[in-house]
Amino acid sequence: MQEAQTFQKMQIPANWNTNKRQRSSRSRGDSQRKKSRCVYEQAEPVSLNELCSSICQTILDSKSKQASETLTFETVLSNVPYQKILENLFGGCAMPDCTVPVVTKAYEESYMRECMYQHEKKCVMGLECECRFIDKENQFTGVEFAIPGQTHSTPQMCVLCSRKLTQKLYYDMLYRPPVTHVGTIQRYGVLCSVEGEYSIDYVLTMPPHGPVQCMPYPSPVHSRNNYSIKVHSATRYIVQRPESAFRPPSLIPASNA
């Protein structure tokens, strides 16, 4: 008798049989993502130009919306193969045509100084400019090196900082070559083994077995010990070692017969 009464007390309430358990918000989100993925898979592929126009329009529209809304790139990767996107951006495996200008030693040395004129700008490296580490008691920021025939709206490096960066990339290319193709690693090239130009002992040249297309012309060796600072007309200049200039071999006098 007591067991029957206990069983009646432990009976499941009637409303438990009618109520249904609701799905969690996570499962609803999963179903929505599955539906959107199905829509992308069933939709016809669009051209790359239409896709780029759609992305640009979405970015412009997002500026007028709330910051909480984000742009998803699921449509991009689901309609256009990723490899095709890279090929359109970088032209496949073909290297872009880029011309490296060649300057003379005299022109390069004319910019190894601080700013003199009002239109000139300082090196983009600022306090990390290499000109500031030549003489600790006479520090200054070098002038931006202007390459003939080129105009840039963005700040550029000075002569010494350009040499330093090219030299670093030069050794990286030789001892840690990248897997993929890269562009040129020098802003400009110089002449060597010519009277009035650099000696071959003071320039870097890419070996024939190396990636010559990355550095087609010689580049001066960068070493802080090769420079000194001199002041001329209240302007500080950087002077290179005399040994950096090319010297023609001396003529050996013929022996008397």
- Top mean pLDDT of 9-23, 25-39, 127-141 is at 127-141
Q: Is the pLDDT of residue 36 over 60?
A: no
**Structure confidence at residue 41 as a pLDDT band (50, 70, 90):** low
Q: What is the 3-state secondary structure (H, E, C) of the chain?
A: CHHHHHHHHCCCCCHHHHCCCCCCHHHHHHHHHHHHHHHHHHCCCCCHHHHHHHHHHHHHHHHCCCCCCCCCCHHHHHHCCHHHHHHHHHCCCCCCCCCCCECCHHHHHCCCECCCCCCCCECCCHHHCHHHHCCCCCCCCCECCCCCCCCCCCCCCCHHHHHHHHHHHHHHHHHCCCCCCCCCCCCCECCECCCCCECHHHEECCCCCCCHHHCCCCEECCCHHHEEEEEECCEEEEEECHHHECCCCCCCCCCCC
Q: Is the pLDDT of residue 165 over 60?
A: yes
pLDDT digits (tens, 9 = 90+) for 187-207: 999 999 998 999 999 999 998
pLDDT at 151: 83
pLDDT at 70: 47
**Structure confidence at residue 257 as a pLDDT band (50, 70, 90):** very low
Which of residues 120 and 252 earns the better pLDDT score?
A: 120
**Structure confidence at residue 69 as a pLDDT band (50, 70, 90):** very low
**Structure confidence at residue 214 as a pLDDT band (50, 70, 90):** confident
pLDDT at 92: 47
The residue type at 111: Y
Bridge partners (DSSP) of residue 198 are 192, 245
Q: How far apart, in whole angstroms, are the C-alpha atoms of residue 152 and residue 124?
A: 12
Q: Is the pLDDT of residue 10 over 60?
A: no
Average pLDDT over residues 33-58: 66
Which of residues 25 and 157 earns the better pLDDT score?
A: 157
pLDDT at 211: 83
**Structure confidence at residue 5 as a pLDDT band (50, 70, 90):** low
The average confidence (pLDDT) of the chain is 77
